[in-house]
Amino acid sequence: MTRPTQMKVALALGGMLLFGAGIRTDRNELRWAGLACVAVAWVLRFRKPPDAPR
Q: What is the pTM of this model?
A: 0.82
The dihedral through the CA atoms of 11, 17, 19, 21 has a sign that is negative
**11 vs 17: CA distance, rounded Å:** 10
pLDDT in tens, the chain (54 residues): 888 889 999 999 999 999 999 999 999 999 999 999 999 999 999 988 777 666
**46 vs 23: CA distance, rounded Å:** 28
